[in-house]
Amino acid sequence: MEEKRICDAREMDRILERMADEIIARNRKHPKLALVGILSRGVCLARRLQRLIREKSGRDLPLGILDITLYRDDLSHATHHPVLRQTEIPFSLDDATVILVDDVLYTGRTVRAALDGLIDFGRPRSIQLAVLVDRGCRELPIAADYVGIEIPASPQDRVMVRVEESDGFDSVSVGPRTTAAGE
């Protein structure tokens, strides 16, 4: 099976605009609202949502960056030398409504690790999850509050999100899984 493109840059822009509208509508009355992107593509998407929310509502939300490496439940299986990157949450999470942003929701394990990481930084009032792609196949009981697109994919498929900031172009595609690495 070859890689099949599901959406291009223009479609991704429309999807993120809709997600920004949904976040604004649901959180109008939340005075303390923040975005936290999961490294790496979740951060790129969180920055775009931050810009869209500012343009559409005039609200300038703080943005944090979360590295979940040490919170993963498969760390001992993944590698003997994990690459640690910087978590940057330069604001208080206490009593905040946090929008956690990631590119793909698959098993739920990345989100579980991110929740553990967020709690180490404070006690949010609530945490909402925004994902560009929900591909199904959950192993943990985790659901997103905001979903860009749903792509029913089998465990043998790999859903690839590419973003301009790190990949040089925007796209979402599905192709055969070539490694055992999770998404």
Q: Does residue 82 register a pLDDT over 70?
A: no
- Rounded distance, CA 183 to CA 176, Å? 13
3-state secondary structure of 36: strand
Whether the bond between 40 and the residue before it is cis, its omega within 30 degrees of 0, is yes
For 9-74+87-153, the fitting CATH number among 3.40.190.10, 3.40.50.2000, 3.40.50.300, 3.40.50.2020 is 3.40.50.2020
pLDDT for 104: 98
123-145 pLDDT, tens digit each: 999 999 999 999 999 999 999 99
The phi-psi region of residue 147 (left if phi > 0; otherwise alpha if psi is between -120 and 50; otherwise beta) is beta
Q: What pTM did the predictor assign?
A: 0.91
List the chain domain ranges: 9-74+87-153
5-24 pLDDT, tens digit each: 999 999 999 999 999 999 99
- Rounded distance, CA 107 to CA 171, Å? 21
Antiparallel, parallel or unpaired: β 33-38 and 63-66:
parallel
E strand or H helix at 45, and its extent?
Answer: helix 41-57
pLDDT for 177: 85
User: Mean pLDDT, to the nearest integer, of 156-171?
Assistant: 96
